[in-house]
A and B are shown apart, each in its own frame.
Chain A
Amino acid sequence: AQTVTQSQPEMSVQEAETVTLSCTYDTSESDYYLFWYKQPPSRQMILVIRQEAYKQQNATENRFSVNFQKAAKSFSLKISDSQLGDAAMYFCAYRSANNNNDMRFGAGTRLTVKP
């Protein structure tokens, strides 16, 4: 079974600085998707960034980028120029390319941004 591990329950970053959130996963499949979701106190899960496993190039969305290491099964999120609005729970998630498969989430990392 696929599992997702986030080893950092909490992280803190100074405003305007850079922070990296870690995620590892376990799978025997070759075709899958990886995601980082943000969950602010409003509770709604918001997609931050997505990576298709067949793509070697790391995904980037404005201040957010990932370091995808397929062989190591690692998928870290880098947030540059951190803003107060980035404070939230961040969840790493895995989903098989099989349409019937569910999305597996890690336990989350609580990010605090200090002014």
Chain B
Amino acid sequence: ETGVTQSPTHLIKTRGQQVTLRCSSQSGHNTVSWYQQALGQGPQFIFQYYREEENGRGNFPPRFSGLQFPNYSSELNVNALELDDSALYLCASRQRQNTGELFFGEGSRLTVL
């Protein structure tokens, strides 16, 4: 069973640029969610995708957008990067009908200069 994988693991961008982060969900999982974890804080929910549609969103501006593909993999796109976007971005997947547990990847560490 393949777990959740994310790429890239680390990246550095400058303010105003755009970034795309990628996630492959765990085998058999059809729901993917993204979280932002600032240094020293708990993860904050960005959005969730099911059947290629966004079906839940946290308190993040529209410049945070995403996609889910037919194979359930997902992308997180952030436009017009700001310094405060520097964080660890975690992808998590689950089977829609399960006991609520999320399975996480190792995250993508984004630094915005």
Contacts and interface: CB of A to CB of B under 8 A. Distances in A.
Interface of A: 4, 32-33, 35, 37, 42-47, 50, 52, 91, 95, 97, 99-108
A108 B107 contact: no
Contacts of B55: 100
B100 A102 contact: no
Interface of B: 31, 33, 40-45, 48, 50, 55-56, 58, 88, 90, 92, 96-97, 99-107, 109
Contacts, number: 64
A50 B99 contact: yes
Query: Considering residues A42, A100, A101, A103, which has the most beta carbons from chain B within 10 angstroms of its beta carbon?
Result: A103
Given A4-B42, A43-B88, A99-B97, 6 more contacts: A44-B104, A44-B106, A47-B101, A47-B103, A102-B33, A108-B41
